[in-house]
């Protein structure tokens, strides 16, 4: 019934559709000037570039095994000067979630699901409560980028051809579980 999309066929129109849906879903967190507990500490450290707090936060994130996240967060808070500016950081997080939703949709179509179920599943996944936290808290705005990296890994694993003995349904299930 017109559901003949391939993963290469999931176009930029789908990405725009998913982006618009997620931006509309998360409009309250993008329009309200607020911050959470850790946002205030990093905002304070951000206006003081050589402060102990800023260096300590970066060292703690690197020690946690997230060096890229540490430098992205440090760089982002360098450009944030007021509480109202945190909405721009949250907007980056919602943009990253829309890219993740698009890649989930591509993966679903690639592994044999229909186009429309893949679109709706990616919308449902990216509006679940954990993603609502990612959208509302500035300090973790870059976490969905890690999901995109895992998504890319799942696509590469699926295209590698290693599990040739497995059925398409088994590969689809493994890719979806690996990505989520």
Q: For 2-44, write each residue's pLDDT tens digit.
A: 455 555 567 788 889 999 999 999 998 888 888 777 777 777 7
Q: Looking at residue 162, what is its pLDDT?
A: 55
User: What is the value of pTM for the model shown?
Assistant: 0.74
Q: Name the nearest CA neighbour of 155 among 109, 95, 115.
A: 109
Residue 76: pLDDT band with limits 50, 70, 90: confident
* 147 token code pair: 């999901």
With tokens 């698009």, the residue in question is 102
Instruction: Name the DSSP class of 33.
Output: -
* 16 token code pair: 């725009």
Rounded to whole angstroms, the Cα distance separating 61 from 76 reads 14
Q: Name the nearest CA neighbour of 138 among 68, 83, 61.
A: 83
Q: Name the nearest CA neighbour of 141 among 81, 42, 69.
A: 69
Domain boundaries, the chain: 21-179
């Amino acid at each position: 019934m017109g559901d003949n999309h391939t993963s290469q066929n999931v176009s930029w129109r789908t990405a725009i559709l998913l982006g618009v849906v997620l931006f509309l879903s998360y409009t309250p967190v993008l329009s309200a000037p607020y911050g959470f507990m850790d946002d205030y500490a990093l905002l304070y450290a951000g206006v003081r570039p050589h402060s102990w707090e800023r260096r300590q936060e970066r060292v703690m994130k690197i020690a946690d095994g997230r060096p890229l996240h540490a430098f992205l967060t440090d760089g982002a808070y360098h450009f944030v000067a007021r509480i109202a500016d945190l909405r721009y950081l949250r907007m980056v997080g919602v943009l990253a979630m829309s890219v993740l939703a698009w890649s989930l949709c591509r993966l679903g179509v690639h592994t044999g699901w229909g186009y429309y179920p893949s679109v709706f599943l990616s919308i449902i996944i990216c509006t679940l409560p954990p993603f609502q936290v990612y959208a509302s808290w500035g300090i973790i705005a870059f976490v969905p980028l890690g999901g995109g990296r895992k998504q890319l890994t799942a696509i590469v694993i699926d295209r590698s051809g290693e599990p040739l003995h497995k059925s398409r349904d088994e590969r689809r299930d493994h890719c979806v579980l690996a990505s989520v």
